[in-house]
Amino acid sequence: MTIIDSIILGIVEGLTEYLPVSSTGHLIIAQYLLGLPDSEAMKAFHICIQSGAIIAVLGLYYSRVKQMTLGTLQAARNMFRADATPEERYPVGARILVNIIVAFMPALVLGLLFNDFIKSMLFNAPTVTTTWALGGIVILLFVRARSKSGKQFAGQSLEELTWRGALKVGFMQSIAMCPGVSRSLMTMLGGLFAGLSVAAAVEFSFLLGLLTLGAATVHDAWKHGGEMLSTIGWLPLVVGTATAWLSAVIAVKWMVGYLNRHSLSIFGWYRIGAAMVMLALIFTGLEFSADEPEPAAAAQTVQE
């Protein structure tokens, strides 16, 4: 892998991680187009550069993260105080953190059970193309239904979300274990189905991503980190992570501002368009197997 490859993958990861278009799907396609091999080291690289996107959200939502941290500490201090009020025992920040943990549990359980199967069977261009198209159709249908109901942006605040609503978001997030579906898309839709406003659903999606993406990064770094570093090296990892951080900051700021005024429709049309382009490339004979790269691309592959 060259430094240029790591920059490209970092930009793709950062721009698409929190947009409802599937970062995994874009990374798989980008990897194939760059002629990089389909290996455990590459899959771990995709996951580990997510840390740049995680850091971006930590910075952009510092005040909310601080609220959750202080609220949890306050809850711990007041848990056994006989004179403590319900709000002191269970402050807003602690409630939000509990909801994030509840929403994370379905993906944790199902991920441990099916992670290897999903990586071996579904991490491919045809799967991504199909899920891109289906996700785009779902977005357009959902936006149309919301528009007819007159509740395009209305809903509860993040502070009003219950643990049952958080669990709904968690099960929706689990669907995104299939590449191309998009974790952000499913968590946003899950939040809206749970009664949140668009702004609250977007924020909860970002905050849940801190835990979900963080856990996935630690897991893959622990399991395949040695192989990744021995084949790819430290420098591409650092460059890819830094690039992912910068592009994620830009993408998150843009999306938050955009969705405060517009619907998700643009992402639905984008997904359908991207799927059509990929389908055309597949039918014209473009080879999407990176196990045996073409000679022209071989110089860019990881040296085994």
What is the chain's mean pLDDT, rounded?
85
Do residues 44 and 216 lie in contact, with contact meaning Cβ atoms separated by under 8 Å? no
Distance CA 100, CA 214 (A): 13
On the question of pLDDT at 299 being above 60, the answer is: no
DSSP 8-state class, residue 196: B
Nearest C-alpha neighbor of 44 from the set 226, 289, 181, 245: 226
Give pLDDT, residue 220: 83
Which of 113-117, 210-214, 286-290 is the most confident on average? Answer: 210-214
Q: How far is CA 264 from CA 152, 167, 235, 259, 269, in A?
A: 10, 23, 37, 7, 9
User: The whole model's pTM is what?
Assistant: 0.82
For residue range 64-123, list pLDDT tens digits in order. Answer: 999 999 999 998 888 878 777 877 778 999 999 999 999 999 988 888 787 777 767 777
Give pLDDT, residue 38: 77
Give pLDDT, residue 18: 92
User: 51-55, 175-179, 192-196 — which is least confidently predicted?
Assistant: 175-179
On the question of pLDDT at 290 being above 50, the answer is: no
Q: Which residues pair with 196 in a beta bridge?
A: 156
For 205, the enclosing helix (H) or strand (E) is helix 198-231
